[in-house]
Amino acid sequence: MDLIQLYTDKCSMCGLCIDVCPSYDTVDMIPSLCDYIQSGGKEEEGRPLEFDIRLCYTCNVCTVACPEDLGIRKLISASREKKTKIRGASEEQGLVDPFSNNNIYKKIGEWENPVEFKNEGRKSDVVYFPGCAASCMNKVVGKSTVRALNAAGVDYSVMSGVDYCCGSVSAGAGNTVPLEKLGQRNIDEINARGSKILITTCPGCYRAFKLLYPQKFENLNFEVLQTSEYFARLLNEGKLNFKRDMDEYFKSSAGDDGSTVGSSTVGSGNSVGSDKNDNPDGKLRIFYQDPCHLTRALGIYEDPRRVLSAVPGAELVNPTPDGSICCGFGGGVRTSFPKKSVDQAADVHEYAKSLDSDIIITNCGGCMKNIIEGGYMSGKENGPENAGLPVYDLAEFISIACGNEPTERDDLKLIYLSNKSLKECLTHYDYEPFEELAADYDPDLK
């Protein structure tokens, strides 16, 4: 059914979607967006946009709350696509466009080489697709995933970097050109390797292969799994063998790997092991951050919990996604409204702390980066006692639990370079709260 007809027929204007939305506060935007979408094709002929559609995190909280499975996001996405068709791609959209010179991953690549994966370009049963983010920015995610695969004895190859962008994040921002151009080529490459399983880390890549590509392209002769789904399968098959009690591990080595640097730098002292004695059952209390684009959009929340629950010495404080909140990264909000986005990420720490968590585990490179930044900024602005909890990637945690050494990472460098890349790629980006890190991390000062 036509989108506008769907809302005309089914939306009762009950406002349940607005009640839960972190960005908007009036249900009047529903008829307004419908009018915008169906009005004339050119801006001067059509109805002007009355609401700032850049404020949407694309978190899908509104869709889940809607009794008719509608919400506001569907209208936002259609409005963004229409706006792009009228005005062309915006500077922000160029940030994740692999054909743009303003691509932030290419920009970071000018300062630091992307991860050099060993298994590129070979035939294999399994292909790992880390995506631009885990290849170029939040590299700990890509490195840790292959370490976990190695520990499980998986035969895999890798398709990494901006060259193999999936196009999904760009499409989510309203620019579908990269997805249209690259989708079939990505599929053909996987088929050429004779692979039967594709695993992705990034929820955007997963959405591309799982949902968007089958609607547009042909010959997806392979199964598509998110990392957590594949880990759950390896666990069922007895191939994911945990060798560490993670409560003992964190008690004895918290902070040694630098993973708590974001919080310890601001003097919080809230390293993972610091409050372990308060846990009567002697288990590491994990808050699993549900990525919006995996949990609400694609229904993946049981497998990551199943895997984490199987780790010796660990327990989940949130066994279901009920009450989960957006990290603030998605939908382009991080680039257009950085302060709002980082404040939202700080709220994740507060929520996790309210559940008496020891650490936060993420399952998305964007969530991880934003939540690290939110915890750091909270400590800087509000005092060390308000700094965030340590943040780990799911694959990173699993890799360590399998007996690997911790994956090297530098959270402050990640924060600094990601902000510097945005500053250099966006003319209006004036968010500069990290001057104190420049002496250590600015490549132009070295």
Catalog residues that contact ligand SF4 under the rule CB under 6 A.
11-17, 21-24, 27, 30, 56-62, 65-66, 68, 70-73, 76
Least distance in Å: CB of 249 to ligand SF4?
A: 36
The sign one gets for the Cα dihedral 253, 257, 260, 264 is positive
Strand partners, 295: none
Q: Which of 416, 410, 409 is nearest to 437 (CA)?
A: 416
Alpha helices in 59-103 (DSSP H): 61-65, 73-87, 91-94
Asked if 379 contacts 386 with a C-beta cutoff of 8 angstroms, the reply is yes
Q: Which of 176, 169, 388, 170 is nearest to 291 (CA)?
A: 169
Asked if 327 contacts 345 with a C-beta cutoff of 8 angstroms, the reply is yes
HEC states along 160-198?
ECHHHCCCHHHHHCCCCHHHHHHHHHHHHHHHHCCCCEE
Least distance in Å: CB of 87 to ligand SF4?
A: 21
Provide the b/e sequence for 330-340 (b: ≥16 CB within 10 Å).
bbbbbbbbbee
Least distance in Å: CB of 200 to ligand SF4?
A: 22
The DSSP call for residue 325 is: -
Query: Half-sphere exposure of residue 386, counting CA atoms within 13 Å on the CB side?
Result: 12
Least distance in Å: CB of 67 to ligand SF4?
A: 6
Least distance in Å: CB of 56 to ligand SF4?
A: 3
∠ CA 284-290-293, rounded to 5°: 155
Query: Half-sphere exposure of residue 343, counting CA atoms within 13 Å on the CB side?
Result: 8
Angstrom distance (rounded) from CA 370 to CA 361: 13
Least distance in Å: CB of 185 to ligand SF4?
A: 30
Angstrom distance (rounded) from CA 174 to CA 144: 31
Give whichever of 266 and 333 is closer to ligand SF4, judged by the CB atom. 333
Give whichever of 127 and 300 is closer to ligand SF4, judged by the CB atom. 300
Strands (E), 197-321: 197-200, 223-226, 284-288, 314-316
Helix (H/G/I), strand (E/B), else coil: 221: coil
Give whichever of 168 and 407 is closer to ligand SF4, judged by the CB atom. 168
Give whichever of 23 and 270 is closer to ligand SF4, judged by the CB atom. 23
Angstrom distance (rounded) from CA 184 to CA 219: 9
Give whichever of 70 and 152 is closer to ligand SF4, judged by the CB atom. 70
Least distance in Å: CB of 432 to ligand SF4?
A: 26
Strands (E), 204-293: 223-226, 284-288
Give whichever of 13 and 355 is closer to ligand SF4, judged by the CB atom. 13
Give whichever of 27 and 235 is closer to ligand SF4, judged by the CB atom. 27
Angstrom distance (rounded) from CA 179 to CA 162: 13
Least distance in Å: CB of 171 to ligand SF4?
A: 16
